Amino acid sequence: MQIRFRPSKIEGSIYAAFVVREGDERARASLAAAFPDRIVGPFGAPIRPNVGVPVANLDEAERRASEAELLPGIKRVSMYLVRDWIYPAAFDEWLAMRVANRTRDVRHPQIKPRTSSAR
């Protein structure tokens, strides 16, 4: 296992993930409005709506989570502080193969489609 994405390297900020724990179909759009400075997201179905945002400190993160809960479609937001995302290096190959298999019209010399379903 090795660190593959290092949000802790964002200088002067903390990387926070905000996840809608309770809400309806409007939650994804409301997250986009609440966090225009997001780095990732808003993600939606099949996972809970969520975004990743750099914040200056914990007070700001808590305040922004509370403000998001006032928007349409959001009842409750959980906040997670992310230091680093760790996953095995083999995940890069798996992801490249999956993308190549799903995007048959797109070709890249370093991404080779899987030729066999056996693994």
Question: What integer pLDDT is reported at residue 88 of this predicted model?
Answer: 65
Sign for the CA dihedral angle at 31, 36, 39, 41 comes to positive
Q: How far is CA 76 from the centre of its chain?
A: 18
Dihedrals φ, ψ of 91, to 5°? -60, -35
pLDDT (tens digit per residue) in 6-41: 666 666 678 889 999 999 999 999 999 999 988 888
pLDDT (tens digit per residue) in 34-82: 999 888 888 777 888 999 888 888 889 999 999 999 999 999 999 988 7
pLDDT (tens digit per residue) in 91-117: 667 767 776 776 555 555 555 555 555
Question: What integer pLDDT is reported at residue 80 of this predicted model?
Answer: 86
Sequence-separated (6 or more) residues with CB below 8 Å from residue 58: 14, 81
SS3 label, residue 24: coil
Q: Which DSSP state fits 108?
A: B
- pLDDT > 50? residue 119: no
Distance CA 84, CA 81 (A): 9
SS3 label, residue 102: helix
pTM surpassing 0.85? no
